[in-house]
């Protein structure tokens, strides 16, 4: 089989002194993607302009305008040209004239925006007028008190009944709690006076209700109550607190959680499941007592952890609130890490928008993630002198309260 002469020439490679007429055209690369010449129109009259490549970068605003106008675009009155991107291409193919060979020459690729010369919000006046008009606006009439549920949350944390410290022992503890209960009465009246009266109350016991004897050796020599007396004091104080709320609100919810001082122990080792806890037991006793008098306490309900859990969550006026003691992590700044891990483990506080903890004996509030809030409650005890000796820090006692309504939490105070 014999190839024709024309076909043979096409198949043979060209020599060094030969070139096809279109060889340079084949080697010329395409315009980089996204840098095609043209105009894109945006809402509000703004135009995004990709200009043809040029050998030199634009030197001034006048150059910007000139290069845009060379594309046949008219700049409307009240608009300006602004350079938004410039890219240097050091090896771009360029053809000086039709029919001439292409050469390698660096070029600049530029993108501009044609936009209003002033922001849209300034079109109605200057900054002074903007501030003046905003500050002198007529306030909208205050909305009438709605019927949406508003919840008062009372956080009772770390009383550690039986403990003796710098601020006394059991007599001083009971006097301190009584004073905080009186302040709670005042707080409820204050909320009513400003039109934010709560319609339901939550009692959140954050744990460490008693000092116990099995956590440290010194407890056997510094406590001023026996174990049963500690439990009795805590039960009677809780009765008093809940009675005050039950007499003022049509619905009361009492919740508690497991804790380290409240845990039933043999030596330093925990005994039984997480619910083997004196704080949980006392709450169970009060629930039994209230159940015997439905006329007086039928509107009070109780929430306690499941047998193998030591935390709980509550629906408080539409907001999920978690309750944990805080001994599950080593330092206050680790609360967020622990809480995040609880979501992976699908634990009771996983979906909480607000997490209440105690244990570390000082107030702390921190926003986490997207709208979550960790509140660490202050202590009610008579002081942790061992910690003060070691660190110099002194815990300030208080009863933490805050409200939850349709718009989230507010009115956070330490009484």
Which pLDDT score, from 0 to 100, does residue 23 have?
Answer: 41
Q: Which residue has the higher pLDDT, 11 or 175?
A: 175
Q: pLDDT tens, 354-389?
A: 999 999 999 999 999 999 999 999 999 998 887 787
Q: How many domains does the chain have?
A: 2
272 and 394 share a domain?
yes
Query: Rounded distance, CA 131 to CA 134, Å?
Result: 5
Q: pLDDT tens, 99-157?
A: 666 667 778 999 999 988 877 666 656 777 778 878 888 877 766 655 678 999 999 99
Residue 9: pLDDT band (50, 70, 90) is low
* Per-residue burial over 53-63, b = 16 or more CB atoms within 10 Å of its CB, e = otherwise: beeeebeeeeb
- Segment among 26-30, 269-273, 397-401 with least mean pLDDT: 26-30
Strands (E), 358-415: 364-368, 372-376, 400-405, 408-414
Domain contains 126 = no
Please state, for a pLDDT cut of 70, what percent of the chain lies above it.
86
The pLDDT of 274-300, averaged and rounded, is 96
42 and 183 share a domain?
no
Range of the domain at 219: 151-414
Domain contains 138 = no
- Check: CB of residue 76 under 8 Å from CB of residue 25: no
Q: pLDDT tens, 169-222?
A: 999 999 999 999 999 999 999 999 999 999 999 999 999 999 999 888 888 888
- How many helices and strands (H and E) does the chain possess? 11, 17
Query: Rounded distance, CA 402 to CA 220, Å?
Result: 36
Q: Nearest 5°: phi and psi at 253?
A: -120, 125
The pLDDT of 265-278, averaged and rounded, is 92
Domain contains 209 = yes
- Check: CB of residue 415 under 8 Å from CB of residue 401: yes
Query: Rounded distance, CA 51 to CA 38, Å?
Result: 7
- Check: CB of residue 304 under 8 Å from CB of residue 295: no
257 and 181 share a domain?
yes
306 and 407 share a domain?
yes
Residue 17: pLDDT band (50, 70, 90) is very low
* CATH number of domain containing 360: 3.60.21
Domain contains 2 = no
102 and 181 share a domain?
no
Which pLDDT score, from 0 to 100, does residue 7 have?
Answer: 45
Residue ending a domain, among 99, 121, 143, is 121
Q: What is the mean pLDDT of the chain?
A: 87
* Tokens of residue 304, six digits: 């306690």
183 and 262 share a domain?
yes
Residue 16: pLDDT band (50, 70, 90) is very low
333 has a pLDDT exceeding 90: yes
- Segment among 26-30, 120-124, 313-317, 373-377 with least mean pLDDT: 26-30
Domain contains 139 = no
Residue 242: pLDDT band (50, 70, 90) is very high
Domain contains 375 = yes
* Tokens of residue 207, six digits: 């744990």
242 and 110 share a domain?
no
Strand partners, 113: 48, 82
Which pLDDT score, from 0 to 100, does residue 283 have?
Answer: 97
Domain contains 131 = no
């Amino acid at each position: 089989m014999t190839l024709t002469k024309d076909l043979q020439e096409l198949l043979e490679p060209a020599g060094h002194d030969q070139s096809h007429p279109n060889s340079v055209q084949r080697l010329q690369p395409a315009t980089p993607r996204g840098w095609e010449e043209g105009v894109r129109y945006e809402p509000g009259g703004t135009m995004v302009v990709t200009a043809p490549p040029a050998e030199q970068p634009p030197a001034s605003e006048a150059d910007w305008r000139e290069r845009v106008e060379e594309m046949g675009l008219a700049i409307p009155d009240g608009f300006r040209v602004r350079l938004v991107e410039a890219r240097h291409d050091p090896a771009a193919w360029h053809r000086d004239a039709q029919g001439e060979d292409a050469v390698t020459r660096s070029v600049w690729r530029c993108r501009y925006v044609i936009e209003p010369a002033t922001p849209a919000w300034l079109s109605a006046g200057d900054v002074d007028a903007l501030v003046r008009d905003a500050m002198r606006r007529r306030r909208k009439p205050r909305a009438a008190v709605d019927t949406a549920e508003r919840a008062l949350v009372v956080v009772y944390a770390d009383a550690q009944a039986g403990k003796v410290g710098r601020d006394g022992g059991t007599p001083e503890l009971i006097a301190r709690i009584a004073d905080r209960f009186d302040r709670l009465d005042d707080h409820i009246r204050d909320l009513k006076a400003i039109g934010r009266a709560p319609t339901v109350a939550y009692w959140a016991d954050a744990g460490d209700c008693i000092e116990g004897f099995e956590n440290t050796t010194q407890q056997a020599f510094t406590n001023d109550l026996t174990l049963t007396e500690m439990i009795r004091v805590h039960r009677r104080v809780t009765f008093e607190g809940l009675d005050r709320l039950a007499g003022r609100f049509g619905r009361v919810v009492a919740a508690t959680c497991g804790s380290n001082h409240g845990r039933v122990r043999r030596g330093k080792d925990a005994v039984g499941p997480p619910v083997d806890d004196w704080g949980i037991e006392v709450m169970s006793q009060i629930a039994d007592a209230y159940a015997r008098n439905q006329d007086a306490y039928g509107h009070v309900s109780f929430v306690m952890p499941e047998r193998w859990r030591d935390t709980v969550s509550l629906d408080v006026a539409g907001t999920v609130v978690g309750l944990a003691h805080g001994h599950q992590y080593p330092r206050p700044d680790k609360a967020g890490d622990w809480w995040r891990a609880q979501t992976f483990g699908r634990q009771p506080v996983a979906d909480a928008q607000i997490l209440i903890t105690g244990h570390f004996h000082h107030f702390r509030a921190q926003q986490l993630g997207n709208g979550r809030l960790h509140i660490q409650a202050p202590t009610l005890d008579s002081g942790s002198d061992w910690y003060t000796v070691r660190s110099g820090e002194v815990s300030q006692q208080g009863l933490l309260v805050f409200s939850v309504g349709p718009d989230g939490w507010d009115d956070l105070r330490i009484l």
